Structure 1
Amino acid sequence: MNPSIKIIKTDKAAPAGGHYVQATVFQGQMYISGQLPVTAAGEHTFNEPFEIQARQALKNLLAILEAAGGDPSHLLKVTVYLVGVAHWPAFNLVYAEMLGETKPARSVVPVPELHHGYLIEIDAVAVDPS
């Protein structure tokens, strides 16, 4: 790997489950990999209601951001993949609650399915907080 690329890893978010890292930092930007609603201990939550899955996915994303020294105000762009556009209003409520006054650019993309049968996945780009 390029020595100027910094890897971010924390045990406070779901571990990387494939050939990727939780996040990378390069030239002032942080790229957070897609976060499914898997707990930091690796427990799956695909049988839980949508709101619990949304909270867990956001919790993972924010834990990775925090591990790099950041907080929601460092977020530049968030992309949310939802199985079923009907979940959009519920997601928006959880998102607003967890991000507070922070309002980064955002895309919400309805998709037919996600890995393990999850209902949500979230990735983001942030300003390097270091």
Structure 2
Amino acid sequence: MKSRVETLTPPNTPKPIGPYSHIAKVGEHIWIGGTAGVDPVTGHLAGADIDAQTRQIFNSFKVMLDAVGSDLNHVTHINVFLQHMSDFEAMNAAYVEMMGDHRPARTVFSVHELPKPGVLLTMNLTAVTRER
């Protein structure tokens, strides 16, 4: 019997650092796990600042969402995990540029530590597929 849950890690996305897939999908519902600002080509952080890392996260989200028939306009909720709440405004500036006019629900947390050295934030999201 085939599972209703599809899981995948698309090409051109950062390699997971643990035993998980980037995406889980059930029907039209999509969950993307914690994603850091890692350049999938080099495997290194896209930059040492919050702007570069935020933009890379959204570039990875675009690739992941496209792989399951969705896009940023179909995101319903984003969790942002900031290592330093002092980066909130800079993260917001990049977030607004990457999300355009779409404003899904969002929660921002301050976290003590993240698993990859140098990572200033991670994000995860929920979304739905594009209408057919």
The two structures have a TM-score, normalised by structure 1, of 0.90
Determine the structure 2 residue equivalent to 1:121. Answer: 122
Code of the aligned partner of 2:22: Q
Determine the structure 1 residue equivalent to 2:35. Answer: 35
Determine the structure 2 residue equivalent to 1:98. Answer: 98
Alpha-carbon contact 1:62-1:71 (below 8 Å) kept = yes
Measure the CA separation in 1 of the matches of 2:44 and 2:57: 11
Determine the structure 2 residue equivalent to 1:48. Answer: 48
Measure the CA separation in 2 of the matches of 1:46 and 1:97: 17
Code of the aligned partner of 2:126: V
In structure 1, stretches of 5+ residues that fail to align are none
Code of the aligned partner of 1:119: L
Residue 77 of structure 1 and its aligned partner are, at CA, apart by: 0.4
Alignment pair present for 1:76 and 2:62: no
Aligned pair count? 130
- After superposition, residues 6-17 of structure 1 pair within 5 angstroms as 6-17=6-17
In structure 2, stretches of 5+ residues that fail to align are none
Aligned pair in 2 of structure 1 residues 47, 113: CA closer, same or farther (>3 Å)?
A: farther
User: What SS does the corresponding residue of 2:45 show, helix, strand or coil?
Assistant: coil
Code of the aligned partner of 1:65: L
Measure the CA separation in 2 of the matches of 1:90 and 1:113: 19
Aligned pair in 2 of structure 1 residues 4, 88: CA closer, same or farther (>3 Å)?
A: same
